[in-house]
Amino acid sequence: MIPSDFYRGRRLRSSLTMREMVRENTVTANDLIMPYFVVETDDDSFKKEISSMPGQYQLSLKQLKKQVGDAVDNGLRACILFGIPAEKDELGSGAYDDKGIVQKAIRLLKDSFPDLMVIADTCLCEYTSHGHCGMVKNEYVQNDPTLNLLAKAAVAQAKAGADMVAPSDMMDGRVAAIRAALDDAGFTNTPIMSYAIKYASAFYGPFREAAESAPQFGDRKTYQMDPPNSREGLREAAADFEEGADILMVKPGLPYLDLVRQVRDAFDTPVATYQVSGEYSMIKAAAQNGWIDEMGVVMESLVAFKRAGADLILTYFTEDVLKALK
């Protein structure tokens, strides 16, 4: 005799319509932020595929406008920009030059797509000749002198029309310095999405090719976080929150879902996470080998971010997901 008093969870999984009706977490276009790499070049036709990130490109301004336009037609709501300047120097001056490549890209996109949320990554590593995220002295990244340069970069980005700035450098005190500089320049309404918990991760490998930002010596372990630490991450997030961050980000994504949940539980701010280049490339490689269903894995990973508590997801799969959702 089969007992009749046990839980029958399958009742709510009996059909696609039923499963969709009771679904606890969903991914929409409002959740997604697409990263783009824009190159300072006179070749308007420049579009170079990133070898370690199939389907992702370094783009000229003209090609950026075209690709973003196609994505907007499919429902793109937000993007984040990374710049590759024609020349680099020790102080990363292209990051805060009013005519710098990201500033040009911001103006172009805001003029072309006024409703698109254009976010600027605020860092120096793509612009410095040594590849580090700040000023260097005796092969050591200097914290406090770097803050002024980051603040200048954020103001330049806001002047160009950026809807939001996103400091990714991991210098202590950079959110406070940027907030003060933005306010002093009249950009009190420009929000800051801080890379609050950013680990010194092996998952960033393909990004170094994409942004041409590999350090020329040493590594970034003295300023990016040590992967085994989680309590330290909450201290970093608390510091950024107290300094004025409007959105707190955890980076990378899937390997650090525990931190996403801890930040969600500890703070009332919106929480973002970044599905980084290594995560993207691993999924792509497995899919190209026929080992996994690419879109199935992508959607499952994005739902995992939502389930962990993320409100916003930066992912290189954004354009593909928008097409699938559409």
- Domains annotated for the chain, with CATH where assigned, are 25-325 (3.20.20.70)
Rounded to two decimals, the pTM is 0.96
**251 in active site:** yes
- 200 vs 216: CA distance, rounded Å: 16
Tell me which of 104, 251, 284, 306 is the catalytic residue.
Answer: 251
**104 in active site:** no
CB atoms within 10 A of CB 107: 17
Residues in CB range of 326: below 8 A, 6 or more apart: 74, 75
Tell me which of 152, 198, 284, 306 is the catalytic residue.
Answer: 198
CB atoms within 10 A of CB 153: 30
- 174 vs 168: CA distance, rounded Å: 9
Cis peptide before 167 (omega within 30 of 0): no
| 285-307 burial: b if 16+ Cβ within 10 Å, else e | eebeeeebebeebbbebbebbbe
- The candidate with the shortest Cα–Cα distance to 232, out of 240, 167, 150, is 240
**Quick one: the chain helix, strand, coil %, rounded to 5?**
45, 20, 40
Per-residue pLDDT of the chain (326 residues; tens, 9 = 90+): 777 788 999 999 999 999 999 999 999 999 999 999 999 999 999 999 999 999 999 999 999 999 999 999 999 999 999 999 999 999 999 999 999 999 999 999 999 999 999 999 999 999 999 989 999 999 999 999 999 999 999 999 999 999 999 999 999 999 999 999 999 999 999 999 999 999 999 999 898 888 778 888 878 899 999 999 999 999 999 999 999 999 999 999 999 999 999 999 999 999 999 999 999 999 999 999 999 999 999 999 999 999 999 999 999 999 999 999 98
